[in-house]
Structure 1
Amino acid sequence: MISREKRAAASAAASPYAHLTYQHRLNFYDEPPRYNITLDEFESCAIDRLRILSEIESCLARNRSPEDMKTVIDAQCRKFLPLDANTASKLVDVDAQRKRDHLGHFVLRLAFCRSEELRRRFVKSETMLFRIRYELADQNEVNQFLESKKFAWEKASNGELQSLKSELIAVHPRLPWPENGSPPAYYKVNWTSVPDLVAQRKVLLRLGKAYVPATEQESIVLQEFQERIESNLDRTAKALPRLDEDDRILPILGHLADGLLAGIPMDSSFAVTEGDGVTITADMIEDLSRKHFPLCMRNLHDNLRKDKHLKHAGRLQYTLFLKGFGLTLDEAIVFWRKSYRGGKVKDDDFNKEYKYNIRHSYGQEGKRADYPPMNCARIITSQQPSAQESHGCPFKHFSIENLDTALLTKYGSCGMNSSALPEINKYVKDGHYHVACTRVYEITHNIRKGEGLGGGESVTHPNLYARRSMDAAKVLIKAETAPVDPSAMVEG
């Protein structure tokens, strides 16, 4: 009798894809990468994967249906972490795709093994990602992958199934059982391997074994995947102290962990400028802030108008946002000159106290760096503002009472009402601040729940929020001013 290992080896040797380093799209990540990489690869692969995991967390927090989640995550994967089948065009380097996927997983494993909370969230998101990929994969591809693994389950014999026929039918009454033929396929596994099926009473239990129909095979595979990830995370956590002296890697891992806790990746690739022919001037900011700014920037703007001043952290956050929004340096200087002390600050005082910092933010002073607008992850993980400061994320840094008041005051005319507050507060209490902000966008823009900024996209950057809001307004204006087609009119 040929062993499972020999059959798997023979199958691999006979496979037309034996030349590939990664022969399967699906991966249990049992073996770490064993090749040299650059620090740029180390970070970029992890950030791309973090985008996917963060979107999964967002979908789960918003209770999206399994089919909606599958659609959203598949689209995100195609954009940031594509994994084509072996039958894809020869122009596609499937090995390179799978290498990035493999590397990204292990970098995030290093980042998220350091606390129970991080491990729990990482395992949950990774298991969901594997599930989506498993369900979207071709059945032949799935079978080939499963054949290559060593699972602690066995296929129940026909004789054994016949002896348990009445009990199996009682558990699975809708499963076809032919009168004169082989019974349906069942697998025998330790009952601890399928706790979800046991809880739902979807399996027959005998002598510590669960009889799982082939139609429920996915549950066994997912539980196996989850257990292996949990075990490997524990081992990684024990090995992590060896990296304590590597000052190149630890800061990257810390930023990635902050990104997961914030719900979004810690990079600045979401900075959005107008760049479409629209010129933003200082005089337009007041009106645009009421219509298109997210709560964090609306709070900064309103406090600037009220106090005629912002502390340094607030000025920096707001200046960079306006820069990303499309306000030029010259217009930014005009805006801040009018805003400070009601426009009554002397030129010498303004130039000495404020103008240098504005020019510095635009890369015109100091080391002339092109500072990007702050994304949500950076704002959320920033230092708690004091009583005199206005920076930060209101969803994280405001009390629930102050948050509710701010939402009703600033967005009451846009559809926000008290009935929406309990849902938003729940997201805040669960730590899903970007989901709360996304829900505010949906309500104030009269968008169906779950659509987010469009196609289910969550808020990940204040500039992205503002840009999507302006785009939506342009579409609405265009629709309202479109000429009427006489042929579409029907006489009453």
Structure 2
Amino acid sequence: MIRQDFSRIDPKRRTTLDHRKKQFATPTYQNLEYKHRLNFYITPPTADITLEQFEQWAIDRLRVLAELEACSFRNKSPSETAEHMKPLLQKYLPLSATSSGSSNLQAERQKDHYSHFILRLAFASTEDLRRRFSRVETMLFRLRFQADDLRDRGAFVESLSLDWETVGSEERAMYAPQLQAAGGGFPKNIEEESYFKVDWERVPELVENRRVFLKGGMAYVPGREQLSMVVAEFTSRLEKALELTSRALPRLDEDDRLTPILNHLSQNFTTPDASYSTSATALPGADISARNVDTLSASFPLCMQNLHRSLRRDAHLKHYGRLQYTLFLKGIGLNLEECLVFWRSSFSKITDDVFNKEYRYNVRHAYGDVGGDSNRRGNGYSPFSCQKILTEKRPGPGESHGCPYRDFSVDNLTALLQQVGVTDREVLKGVKEDKEKTKFHLACNRVFDYVHKQEIKKVKDDGTWTSAQLETLVHPNDYFKRSYLLKNLGKNPVEEEMEKVKPDVEMED
């Protein structure tokens, strides 16, 4: 029998087991040197930062991305977006050019690098969040690329070592007519332009706009379209990286320091212009009561009209529909007591006992009447913005919540629009095109402009409304308020209410 001594430690393993020596060893990872202002965010950051920096840097970047998304929702042009974002970028996420000689160069680029990866963790959990993060990060990269110093930009693109195949002079001459046609007749001399050959799937924007010649699955891209090529490469790499990040997320579940911060970031991605404000959407003097909701529904956006019509048809709505509609009604000024009256009368097929046991608490919870500190410190929940609705759970069988412009088929959407009075063929065609391009907010605003075209023309001609009051709508409650005000131009809601009760008073006398 051979006796083994298990108490002895292998000398070769001694260094790895001594945690005290390992704790004070020289760090394996060091701060990165940022040679370029632009970044493809390929290498994850590895140096130490504080928890305060971790959270604050992410919040600052989130402010920038949220405002960029708001510019997209408001359909601002690239030049308008650049002008609008300039002070915000300088305040929250400055990036000086290499030629500036700024002493803060490395610190600025480190913050940009880290904040991107922090938000990548926060937004990798679901497909909707990944798609949304990729879209706004691409917008930010495009904005910076266009504003970058020419020399810095050239050095950055060269450092990427992108596998673009250069088109030789013989091949350029062979396809000269096609290349010129794709460029709208330019260049007149094909030898004056350089061309790259890439897989067509890498430049979807150029293919969609018919700005490249396609042959054998390859796109012939002129050098002047370098921006589109680099941006497409950025997006492609980011989308793949987000997929990998999503697989690694379970490893973070046990970290009770980072997980709450990441959850908070992902749950609070709302554009400043789309956030709810009681004072901003209030209509003093208007009859916002349970008995008047049917009348008010004429000014509701399509998502809320669909919920209202479904409720009236079925005398019931499922959970997500009730939540979305309750918060909207709360936002237009319906108080808790009136909201309970509204829901009780609407659920006409059930008894008082069933309503009180199964539905009453949820309405009170939405208003903050019950629920404690977790329920927004007693104020209840805010009405859903358009982007909140678009990132929430899609409706299933028997459910009516969500955004009809996204969730309905073209035929069903057209039928619903016709039912609420939108019959113009050009408008319906435009809505269909907006839906196909996933520009749901533009479809909603197109319908609003059609329904209120006479009133909008009047306030524009009179100059009584500013351009800010007619900006793109990004919140259902703002839709209602603007619609209500336009439909009641020149009317005083308080005087109207007095006129309604005046005959009754005279009869009593």
SS in 2 for 1:442: helix
Match of 1:163 in 2: none
Equivalent pairs counted in the alignment come to 398
Tell whether 2:400 aligns with 1:390: yes
Match of 2:293 in 1: 285
Match of 1:437 in 2: 444
Mapped partners of 2:333, 2:404: distance in 1: 24
From 355, 358, 367, the counterpart of 2:363: 358
Larger deviation, residues 221-230 vs 367-376? 221-230
Deviation at 1:336, TM superposition (A): 3.2
Structure whose alpha-carbon radius of gyration is higher: 2
SS in 1 for 2:248: helix
Conserved 8 A contact 2:37-2:152: no
- CA 1:350–1:417: 2 relative to 1, 3 Å: same
Superposed counterparts of 1:52-451, under 5 Å: 54=69, 68-72=77-81, 74-75=83-84, 101-107=112-118, 109-110=120-121, 126-135=137-146, 137=147, 141-144=149-152, 146=154, 150-151=158-159, 216=224, 219-220=225-226, 223-224=229-230, 226-227=232-233, 230-231=236-237, 234=240, 237-238=243-244, 241-247=247-253, 270-274=275-279, 278-279=284-285, 281-282=288-289, 283-291=291-299, 293-341=300-348, 351-367=356-372, 369=375, 370-380=380-390, 381-387=392-398, 389-410=399-420, 412=421, 416-446=423-453
Percent same amino acid among aligned pairs? 34
Conserved 8 A contact 1:333-1:355: yes
Instruction: Summarize deviations over 1:247-298 as a string: whole Å, max 9, x none.
Output: 3778998999999xxxx9599962243455615531443332202x111111
Instruction: Summarize deviations over 1:436-486 as a string: whole Å, max 9, x none.
Output: 3233223223269xx999676353x32232234345557x5489xxxxxxx
Amino acid at match of 1:457: T
Larger deviation, residues 69-78 vs 119-128? 119-128
Conserved 8 A contact 1:296-1:393: yes
- CA 1:237–1:71: 2 relative to 1, 3 Å: same
- CA 1:309–1:455: 2 relative to 1, 3 Å: closer
- CA 1:53–1:102: 2 relative to 1, 3 Å: farther
Deviation at 1:363, TM superposition (A): 1.0
Instruction: Summarize deviations over 1:390-446 as a string: whole Å, max 9, x none.
Output: 333323333433321211121x1xx65233223322333444433332332232232
- CA 1:304–1:224: 2 relative to 1, 3 Å: closer
Mapped partners of 1:107, 1:421: distance in 2: 42
Structure 2, unpaired ranges of 5+: 1-32, 98-103, 162-172, 214-219, 458-465, 493-509
Structure 1, unpaired ranges of 5+: 1-20, 88-92, 154-166, 176-183, 203-209, 480-492
Q: TM-score, normalised by structure 1?
A: 0.59
